[in-house]
Amino acid sequence: MKKPTIIIGKKQIVLTCMSLVLCGAVYLNYTLSGQQGLLPAGNDSPVADTEGDLPQPNDYGAAELVSGSAQSDYFAKARLEKQTSRDTAVETLQSIIGGGDLSEEEMVVNAIDAVTLSQLIESESIIESLILAQGFSDCVVYLDGNGAKVVVESDGLNASQAAAIKDIILSEAEVAAEGIRIFEVASGAQEDAAES
């Protein structure tokens, strides 16, 4: 009688490793970002109130500064939307990787996409932490393969602060300097003074 042999191929090893890396990155992002500030479903308050003409952007090198006013829950909604879209992308990639009829090349491409997504999520979290360490009260970072968008809460962003944000992004992510855009959202204290 023959003993059954278990054959583990390269495909299974690569797929298992990529799945573990993806799961680790998602878990790390979840634990580092926390769940504070999330809004309950059904909160239909507007994200931003704009009045009059749009402000003209100030040119601080390759970064573009746009000022605007927003309610205090802007950052919570932005984080919730970002997390929802990332979760959807992760689920889609996991279902594709877990699918049955893929060639080895397609599985490798999907695994690379999953790793790239997890690296973007990790970079966003690190950049947000470093920007908050610069003294800003809140920020949200959006990275894609070509550029970065940063929304910071501030009473007035000056050129040195914009340069510091740009330096943080350039040190942590592989984006071109001209692909960085910085947006400013007025803090709550400034809004209250403007309404009075």
Question: Confidence class of residue 2 from pLDDT cuts 50, 70 and 90?
Answer: low
Judge residue 150's burial from the number of C-beta atoms within 10 Å of its C-beta, 0-12 exposed, 13-18 middle, 19 or more buried: buried
Of the listed ranges 17-21, 101-105, 148-152, 153-157, the least confidently predicted one is: 101-105
pLDDT at 120 over 60: yes
Ordered domains of the chain (ranges, CATH): 10-35+47-195 (1.10.287.4300)
Number of C-beta neighbours around residue 119 at 10 A: 15
Spell 14-25 as b/e; 16+ CB within 10 A means b: ebeebbeebeeb
Q: How many residues does the chain have?
A: 196
Mean pLDDT in residue range 116-140? 86
pLDDT at 79 over 60: yes
Enter the tokens of residue 123.
């970079």
Number of C-beta neighbours around residue 128 at 10 A: 21
Q: What is the mean pLDDT of the chain?
A: 72
pLDDT at 63 over 80: no
Q: What is the pLDDT of residue 34?
A: 58
Which has the closest alpha carbon to 172: 136, 121, 117, 114? 121
Q: What is the pLDDT of residue 100?
A: 63
Question: Confidence class of residue 190 from pLDDT cuts 50, 70 and 90?
Answer: very low
Q: Which residues make Cβ contacts (< 8 Å) with residue 51, sequence separation at least 6?
A: none
Strand partners, 67: 184
Residue for token pair 């610069």:
134
Which has the closest alpha carbon to 79: 43, 45, 42, 124? 124
- CB of 172 closer than 8 Å to CB of 180: no
pLDDT at 29 over 90: no
